[in-house]
Amino acid sequence: MRPEIRDSQEILLERIDQANATFALDESYFFMILPGESLTSLVDGEFCWNLHNNELVMIGRDNMGVYWYFRNLSLGKYKINFRYRSPIQSDLNKLFRPPVVENIWSGKVTTPLVDFFLVN
């Protein structure tokens, strides 16, 4: 799951995704729930000051080692939501030999937008 952030004018901010390592895939990296069930997942992220560029950034990492960040944030109102895209079966079959997951649902899930504010 990766965040999407919109500014006060509801313009989608650019999220930069960066992988600096290759992780061996494990079944635990994938959300496995049955129809009608729900899932709660925590996403770890933080705000920090980038001294090199003199800017506020929000940075986090997913469970597969991909770092994501939003640059040049400022005081004001924002909206955040999270989007999850499940891989299609053929993509999973390429990752796992032999395939360990069968009959997987593919599609996208998006959480509702939630307001947050950066204040002084």
CA separation for the pair 13, 87 (Å, rounded): 24
**Domain map (residue ranges) of the chain:** 2-78
Report the predicted TM-score, pTM, of the whole model to 2 decimal places.
0.74
Q: What is the pLDDT of residues 9-30, one digit of tens each?
A: 999 999 999 887 666 666 666 6
Range with lowest mean pLDDT among 45-59, 62-76, 95-109: 95-109
pLDDT value at position 11?
95
**Per the structure block, which two tokens stand in for 40?**
């709660």
**Per the structure block, which two tokens stand in for 18?**
């960066």
pLDDT value at position 28?
63
pLDDT band per the 50, 70, 90 thresholds, residue 43 = confident
SS3 per residue for the chain? CEEEEECCCCCECCCEEEECCCCCCCHHHCCCCCCCCCCCCCCCEEEEEECCCCEEEEEEECCCCEEEEEEEECCEEEEEEEEEECCCHHHHHHHCCCCCCCCCCCCEEECCCEEEEECC
